[in-house]
A and B are shown apart, each in its own frame.
Chain A
């Protein structure tokens, strides 16, 4: 992969990561926040793939598989938490779960 192509790929990853971050910070719906985190994870994964391909190393792909596993675990735990919160609060609004404020 050429340098130019990698730069494009990294740019895309950056844009995706920024979008994901904005999604997490701005949206109040818990499901959407979870999806935004997925986008951030995949952006990081894309950066790894691009870098691994640029230097012809397998490490990038190894890291991506690791990120996939992490994402799967995160979704499993996250969805379970969201389900419990929904049962408890009757809404998916993250700001409603502020009962532990100092």
Chain B
């Protein structure tokens, strides 16, 4: 008897199969029912499974069948449920369902309606496979499935070559990380003889001493994969371009699927990272650098969706920072709150963009507060949560936890904390810059059309979650509700005991984070609402303009990669068009062409000549039979 666990990814996969095979021939109502319903069923099943798991919190594995069995490698199609994978599964399924519901209306006039839902369903199925897989090979299947779907969906409007280019960029850049991850899997398998995650972790602890070479190599290679998927330094360049897809796709990529895969992978393999302290430190440093870099870039974007894209990179940076200091459950906590408020921000931004006729530039918007009240309030709630304004929203509790545990981490701690704090200031400034520019001031573009119920419901539900989801983990000085970290403790170890838990210090650090967030909002208010003239005067100086351009283009990394990797590669490809191998194959081709020409000469069309051929052949054959 199979438990419902195995069916959770199966339903979206079935939805994909039906929509893919019928290729848009079904009536629209049918497509909506299948596309949204399959993910809805998955969400309901995930809820049932999690309620059962909360009743009896014991991790279990559900093996459906053996996938491959060759000389020692026997990965199963198996699903593993513990607190970590269960929470991920629930958030992924639930947020995906809301995004699907939103898409049903958002995409309703698109000609690729069926194709869209087919890809989205496959996306969700892949992500669920990724989080639930009990072995790394099956996880890798989901991992690649997610990559494929992101390619398909970023390039969804394929008639514009720029979209295809963005899709290819996303695919190729994440592929760099995926290759590292595949090699990491080989290292793990050849040295530990299994890919099943739980035995693998036990073997790793048993065979590898802390800080030895092999765990460092394996952890670093897996980190490469995580950096690619989660868009962290130095592989983050694909994410801002990934905005080429439809807005709900961005919401799905940023909130529920894809970019959080790297965070999940590291949390899942936390034992391995515990054996490789240098790599873990690298995770924290990369996270801190990324969150700063992306924060500065977000500050200078004019495209509403690109602001949110850089904000995602920055927030994932927080998660990596948390992972790097061993604050596993804080990272997953931030993943959860981020999933809610980032999905909310993207979906309400989608409403704004669509109602203004695909206008992305925030400086062409303005004064939309009264015209789009739903989008305004939901975007505001998302922004409050993203900026982590104190006490009232989910983002505050998760970010606060990360900052506190970063501070408590050894020698590097205060530096990481400072980076996080500056990041928090940047976050508040850039998101409220968007809020003030888009929703306040004079009206510049008149919105058209209407927003229906299927868009409103996901927005409202996500708004509520973005406000209250943080109350499952409240720090000691505010009432001490550690429900979330206690729940996570069964699969993720608690962070190393903080220097002075629950002390005045923690309260002060929290207070400074809160002050910084409020300060950020204040700066944004003064600079973009109260005194825009002052800022304009400031940025008119050439140094400022250069810096602004530098930040806007993502610290010139695109430029650097173009010069350092893409162009040399194209150059080599161009000058190497006629090398030995190519010559051999083109020689083969021209040889067969010449032979074809020679043989076709004999086809004269004269029946007597053919008859002569047959006769001669028969004579030779009979001669061989008789005389041989």
Q: Which residues of A contact B (CB under 8 A)?
A: 21, 24-26, 28, 33, 94-95, 97-102
Contact = CB atoms under 8 A, between A and B. Distances in A.
B605 A97 contact: yes
A101 B608 contact: no
Contacts of B109: none
13 contacts: A21-B615, A24-B611, A25-B611, A25-B612, A28-B608, A33-B608, A94-B607, A94-B608, A97-B605, A101-B604, A101-B605, A102-B599, A102-B603
A95 B608 contact: yes
Interface string B9-27: 0000000000000000000
B541 interface: no
B621 to A, nearest CB: 15
Contact of B605 (A24, A28, A100): A100
B615 A95 contact: no
Contacts of B611: 24-25
Nearest to B600: A102
B601 A98 contact: no
Contacts of A26: 608
Contacts of B607: 94-95, 97
Interface string B584-621: 00000000000000011111111110011001000000
Nearest to B619: A21
Given A24-B608, A25-B615, A33-B608, 6 more contacts: A21-B615, A25-B608, A25-B611, A94-B607, A98-B604, A102-B601
Contacts of B601: 102
Nearest to B596: A102
Nearest to B603: A102
Contacts of B606: 94-95, 98, 101
B595 to A, nearest CB: 13
Contacts of A99: 605
A80 to B, nearest CB: 16
Nearest to B601: A102
Contacts of B599: 102
A17 B158 CA distance: 69
A28 B612 CA distance: 13
Please name the 5 residue pairs, one residue from A and one from B, whose CB atoms are nearest each other, closest first. Answer: A102-B603, A98-B605, A101-B605, A102-B600, A101-B604
A62 B608 CA distance: 31
Nearest to B616: A25
B438 to A, nearest CB: 70
Interface string B197-241: 000000000000000000000000000000000000000000000
B597 to A, nearest CB: 9
A79 to B, nearest CB: 16
A101 B603 contact: yes
Nearest to B607: A94
A87 to B, nearest CB: 18
Contacts of A25: 608, 611-612, 615
A25 B611 CA distance: 7
A94 B459 CA distance: 82
A95 B605 CA distance: 8
A99 B608 CA distance: 14
A100 B603 CA distance: 8
A17 B562 CA distance: 79
A54 B604 CA distance: 45
A82 B286 CA distance: 85
A2 B150 CA distance: 89
Contacts of B604: 98, 101-102
A24 B610 CA distance: 11
Contacts of A98: 604-606
Contacts of B612: 25
A98 B600 CA distance: 14
Contacts of B603: 100-102
A21 B615 CA distance: 8
A26 B606 CA distance: 12
Nearest to A100: B605
Contacts of A101: 603-606
A102 B606 CA distance: 11
A64 B253 CA distance: 80
A98 B611 CA distance: 14
A43 to B, nearest CB: 14
A102 B596 CA distance: 10
Interface string B81-112: 00000000000000000000000000000000
A25 B608 CA distance: 5
Contacts of B600: 102
Contacts of A28: 608
Contacts of B602: 102
A26 B599 CA distance: 24
A25 B22 CA distance: 58
A33 B607 CA distance: 11
A84 to B, nearest CB: 14
A94 to B, nearest CB: 5
Nearest to A102: B603
A17 to B, nearest CB: 11
A33 B612 CA distance: 13
Interface string B147-161: 000000000000000
A96 to B, nearest CB: 10
A57 B241 CA distance: 88
Contacts of A94: 606-608
A24 B618 CA distance: 15
Interface string B172-201: 000000000000000000000000000000
B604 to A, nearest CB: 5
A94 B605 CA distance: 10
A53 B533 CA distance: 121
A28 B608 CA distance: 8
A28 B604 CA distance: 15
A69 to B, nearest CB: 22
A101 B606 CA distance: 8
Interface in B540-585: none
A24 to B, nearest CB: 6
B96 to A, nearest CB: 59
B620 to A, nearest CB: 15
B584 to A, nearest CB: 28
Contacts of A21: 615
Contacts of A102: 599-605
A102 to B, nearest CB: 3
A10 B599 CA distance: 39
A73 to B, nearest CB: 19
B594 to A, nearest CB: 14
B173 to A, nearest CB: 51
